[in-house]
Amino acid sequence: MRNGHVLALSLWVRLMKTHNLILNGVRQSLKGRITLPQFDVMAQLLREPQGLTSREISRRLLVSAGNVTGILDRLEADGLARREVFAHDRRSFRVRLTPRGRRLMSRLIERHRRDLERILSPLPARRQRALRSLLGEASRLLERKNTDGGVHERRAV
């Protein structure tokens, strides 16, 4: 294997391992409350008080519409979100958090922030900032490449 191939593979493996370690810590924190996919959807809805369409949620989270539908069904059944049909188009709807969903997310977002600080605390703040900068640059470059004709895969929630 050429050196570049080994480097790219090694980088991917390290990113995945780090991602999984952080994800496991976050999942443990949410355990018994809501699932991580529900948290992701609710976090998007918390940012948009006027609500989002299912398609908008799907695009923001890079997941399929089918995955979002199942998550929304569960959130609605639990009284955390509600679908509101558009008056001008009965086939379309907007999703909003219920007051109960907003209260829950307000608590969970703060806890999530603290959990991430704890999980990432072994890495000094200066190194976290450097890593954030490098990952931001990588994201921008990869997004540009994907918009310029590359294939953009969607992940399952």
| Domain coordinates in residue numbering, the chain | 23-141
Indicate whether 7 pLDDT > 80.
Answer: yes
Report the pLDDT averaged over residues 42-71.
92
Compute the distance between CA of residue 135 and CA of residue 105 in angstroms, rounded to an integer.
27
> Tokens at residue 132, please?
């954030």
Indicate whether 146 pLDDT > 90.
Answer: no
Compute the distance between CA of residue 25 and CA of residue 131 in angstroms, rounded to an integer.
19
pTM (2 d.p.): 0.77
Indicate whether 11 pLDDT > 60.
Answer: yes
Question: Residue 124 to residues 26, 104, 137, 145: CA-CA distances in angstroms?
Answer: 19, 31, 20, 31
Q: How many CA atoms lie within 13 A of 85 on its CB side?
A: 5
Query: What's the DSSP call for residue 81?
Result: E
3-state helix, strand, coil in the chain (%, to 5): 70, 10, 20
Question: Residue 74 to residues 60, 68, 71, 85, 91: CA-CA distances in angstroms?
Answer: 19, 10, 5, 18, 20
What's the mean per-residue pLDDT of the chain?
88
| Euclidean distance between the first and the last CA atom of the chain, given in angstroms as a whole number | 33
pLDDT at 31: 83
Is 23-141 assigned to CATH 1.10.10.10?
A: yes
Compute the distance between CA of residue 157 and CA of residue 27 in angstroms, rounded to an integer.
13
Amino acid residing at 124:
P
pLDDT at 90: 64
